[in-house]
Amino acid sequence: RRRRRLAAGQGPGRTADGHPVALYGNIGSARDLHGNLEGVGLFRTELLYLDRADAPGRDEQAAAYAEVFAALPGRRVIVRTLDAGADKPLPFLHHGDEPNPALGIRGLRLARRRPDVLRAQLEAIAQAARSATADVWVMAPMVATVAEAAGFAAVCRDVGLPTAGAMVEVPAAALRARALLGVVDFLSIGTNDLSQYTFAADRQCGQLADLLDPGQPALLELVAACAAAGQAAGKPVGVCGEAAADPRLAPVLVGLGVTSLSMAPRAVPEVREALAAHTLADCRRLAAEALAAGDVSAPSSRTNTP
């Protein structure tokens, strides 16, 4: 078993019949990089901004990005722009004036208040990308409309970052996936927030775990809509929420049509093994079954089975 695991731990992700599925790591800094990653599908950049009176300077940011890019020569690194707000307020952006921070100025919405902060971050990423061989993509969190995505992509192009994407974390974005792919190059589905906003269930609330379960058919329907839009447009659609790290769910997500899965680096070997154990046809069958299944129910309403 150990030998099989080691063998499965090499090379890019693929199904038993060779259908490629990129397996990327989620990181918050260069310190999180370990194992021989195919690339990084979610580089969370909030760490750089926490506990400060103002945004970090361009050179300081560029140095942090460059450290990650240098560790992944020739490989893809998808940098997510600042996703502060909600549980991560920043003193220079948030003033404690929001009654409902999860529905307030967070993610890309920060650019409404401080467009200069977003532009400076993208300039720092572009600066670091210029002297690296990594294939640097950027994406915005908490996109709700096509207009927001188009505005983001325009700034990206302006600073010299040619590949811009939108995270799908809000049901409105999933419903408009096709139109979104008219203005951005890829989508990345953040299932943690997409579950929270689809089910109106706080992602920190353990008592609502059944509503936050990414196996819920309603959530999978939104993933399927995004993946279908990606296939129609010929553009990548990945998943970078916790769902991607679940070896039982990964084949389902692939069967729905997603092209990459990004997860904590330590979760990659098990997900790789799960994909290697299923053909693409198996994955599609599992996806159809999951879509047709009943809701994931709350423990109290589950019938007792022996």
**Which residues are known binding-site members for Mg(2+)?**
169, 193
**Of 142, 228, 154, 226, whose CA–CA distance to 184 is shortest?**
154
Footprint (CB under 5 A) of Mg ion, residues 148-177: 169
- Whole-angstrom distance, CA of residue 7 vs CA of residue 300: 42
Cβ(209)–Cβ(228) below 8 Å: no
41 or 255: CB nearest Mg ion: 41
How far is the CA of 166 from the CAs of 29, 45, 55, 139, 169, in angstroms? 21, 15, 23, 5, 9
Per the listing, tokens 């999933």 go with 174
Regarding 240 and contact with ligand PEP (CB under 6 A), the answer is yes
Q: How far is the CB of 140 from ligand PEP (least distance, A)?
A: 12
Cβ(244)–Cβ(192) below 8 Å: no
Q: What DSSP letter does each residue of 172-234 carry, written as one string?
A: HHHHTHHHHTTTSSEEEE-HHHHHHHHHT--TT-GGGHHHH-TT-HHHHHHHHHHHHHHHHHT
Relative orientation angle of helices 58-71 and 115-130, to the nearest 10 degrees: 40
Specify whether 240 is catalytic. Answer: yes
Q: Which does 143 bind (CB under 5 to 8 A by kind): Mg ion, ligand PEP, none?
A: none
Regarding 190 and contact with Mg ion (CB under 5 A), the answer is yes
- For ligand PEP, the binding residue among 45, 163, 191, 198 (CB under 6 A) is 191
> Could you give phi then psi for residue 108, rounded to 5 degrees?
-60, -20
Q: Give the x/- contact pattern for ligand PEP in 277-306, rule: CB under 6 A.
A: ------------------------------
71 or 264: CB nearest ligand PEP: 264
Regarding 192 and contact with ligand PEP (CB under 6 A), the answer is yes
- For ligand PEP, the binding residue among 44, 94, 176, 278 (CB under 6 A) is 44
Q: Which does 61 bind (CB under 5 to 8 A by kind): ligand PEP, Mg ion, none?
A: none
Regarding 193 and contact with ligand PEP (CB under 6 A), the answer is yes
Q: How far is the CB of 193 from ligand PEP (least distance, A)?
A: 3
**Where do contacts with ligand PEP occur on this chain (CB under 6 A)?**
42, 44, 83, 169, 190-193, 240-241
Q: Which residues are catalytic?
A: 240
